[in-house]
């Protein structure tokens, strides 16, 4: 096994080149820069790259076509699409073709850094996101119970939603919290298990349904969560989590209730519906 991994970067601006140089070289990655998608395809034909990052100046349509060709030649290559011309449909096309992630300009640099690090650190990547059906108005996804899957899904849905920044942050944060609850507690972080997700965008609202493979719960069964305690004792769950050896946290449901307009559980407690009015 070679000591270095290979990354291919297409038409990066000087700032992105500097960022990628610092990030990738820290992890013992060799970087190849090319000027165009055509040059990228020629490079992929001769060399196996673990990571490909497309250029910001190309359209999502062009980058998804490059992704398709890479998938045919090198099916396990992680591809992160950067683009200055995107539509919700093109984001869905990238998911169908198993892009690792998708960012349209302008993007938050810290989120791109987080996704690149995630791509670098994935020991043996398999997609984990199955787009069962998708239109910009209705998306149905099956996702494996891994934390990395949750982070990737939040970025994809942020790109699909086309919401103003404050609402995008609120919906994205609430979605991630509830998805992580489903993955961690319902799915036990078992990549062989899946959560079922449906996202719907109407004229005046967004809804997201998350169904996990666990048996469910009721509030009196989760004393380790802030939502199970009264307003007079908002941090009572912290000591319980420490006693149980759980990681710090427990505010996910309570936080999500304050970020969206409706948070509704089914009778069993293994299915939740988030609603945000626009």
Strand partners, 211: 196, 271
Cβ within 8 Å of residue 123, ≥6 positions away: none
| Whether residue 207 is found in the same domain as residue 257 | yes
| Whether residue 121 is found in the same domain as residue 138 | no
| Whether residue 104 is found in the same domain as residue 215 | no
For residue 198, the surrounding DSSP H or E stretch is strand 194-201
| Whether residue 214 is found in the same domain as residue 157 | yes
With tokens 């449901």, the residue in question is 253
| Whether residue 11 is found in the same domain as residue 120 | yes
For residue 254, the surrounding DSSP H or E stretch is helix 252-259
Last residue of a domain, one of 103, 126, 149: 126
* Burial profile 227-247: b = 16 or more Cβ within 10 angstroms, e = fewer: bbbeeeeeeebbebbeeeeee
Largest CA distance in the chain: 64
Last residue of a domain, one of 111, 126, 141: 126
Domain total for the chain? Answer: 2
What pLDDT shows up at residue 22? 87
Low-confidence winner among 89-98, 203-212, 250-259 (lowest mean pLDDT) = 250-259
| Whether residue 142 is found in the same domain as residue 275 | yes
Q: Which two tokens stand for residue 155?
A: 């970025």
Low-confidence winner among 29-38, 86-95, 228-237 (lowest mean pLDDT) = 228-237
Last residue of a domain, one of 126, 145, 176: 126
Low-confidence winner among 229-233, 258-262, 263-267 (lowest mean pLDDT) = 229-233
| Whether residue 66 is found in the same domain as residue 204 | no
| Whether residue 91 is found in the same domain as residue 122 | yes
Closest CA to 33 of 64, 55, 63: 55
Do residues 171 and 259 make contact, with C-beta atoms less than 8 angstroms apart? yes
| Whether residue 91 is found in the same domain as residue 167 | no
Pairing of strands 138-144, 129-134: antiparallel
d(CA 97, CA 115): 18
CATH number at residue 150: 3.30.565.10
CATH number at residue 54: 3.40.50.2300
d(CA 136, CA 88): 6
| Whether residue 119 is found in the same domain as residue 135 | no
What pLDDT shows up at residue 241? 47
Q: What are phi and psi of 89, to 5 degrees?
A: -65, -40
Q: Which two tokens stand for residue 114?
A: 């987080």
Note the pTM of the prediction, 2 decimals: 0.86
What pLDDT shows up at residue 185? 87
Q: Which two tokens stand for residue 119?
A: 């791509």
What pLDDT shows up at residue 2? 46
What rounded mean pLDDT belongs to the chain? 86
d(CA 27, CA 132): 35
Radius of gyration of the chain (CA): 20
Closest CA to 151 of 122, 185, 186, 187: 122
The 3-class SS string of 28-50 reads CEEEEEECCHHHHHHHHHHCCCC
| Whether residue 151 is found in the same domain as residue 220 | yes
Interval 125-148: pLDDT, tens: 668 999 999 999 999 999 999 999
Interval 54-63: pLDDT, tens: 999 999 999 9
Question: Which residues constitute the domain of residue 253?
Answer: 128-278
| Whether residue 93 is found in the same domain as residue 132 | no
More confident residue, 239 or 162: 162
């Amino acid at each position: 096994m070679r000591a270095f991994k290979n990354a291919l970067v297409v038409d990066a601006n000087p700032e992105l080149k500097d960022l990628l140089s610092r990030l990738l070289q820290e992890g013992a990655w060799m970087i190849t820069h090319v000027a165009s998608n055509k040059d990228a395809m020629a490079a992929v034909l001769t060399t196996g790259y673990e990571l490909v990052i497309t250029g910001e100046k190309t359209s999502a349509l062009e980058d998804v076509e490059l992704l398709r060709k890479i998938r045919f030649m090198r099916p396990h290559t992680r591809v992160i699409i950067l683009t200055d011309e995107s539509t919700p449909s093109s984001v869905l096309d990238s998911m169908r073709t198993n892009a690792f992630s998708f960012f349209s300009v302008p993007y938050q640099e810290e989120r791109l850094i987080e996704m690149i690090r995630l791509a670098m650190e994935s020991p043996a990547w398999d997609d984990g996101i199955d787009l069962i059906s998708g239109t910009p108005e209705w998306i149905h996804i099956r996702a494996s119970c891994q934390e990395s899957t949750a982070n990737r899904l939040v970025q994809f849905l942020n790109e699909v939603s086309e919401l103003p920044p404050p609402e995008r942050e609120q919906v994205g944060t609430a979605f991630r919290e509830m998805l992580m609850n489903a993955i961690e507690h319902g799915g036990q972080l078992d990549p062989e298990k899946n959560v079922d997700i449906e996202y719907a965008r109407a004229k005046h609202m967004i809804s997201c349904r998350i169904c996990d493979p666990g048996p469910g719960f009721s509030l009196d069964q989760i004393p380790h969560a802030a939502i199970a305690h009264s307003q007079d004792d908002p941090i009572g769950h912290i000591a319980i989590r420490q006693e149980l050896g759980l990681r710090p946290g427990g505010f996910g449901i309570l936080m999500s209730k304050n970020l969206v307009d409706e948070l509704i559980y089914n009778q069993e407690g293994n299915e939740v519906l988030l609603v945000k009015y626009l």
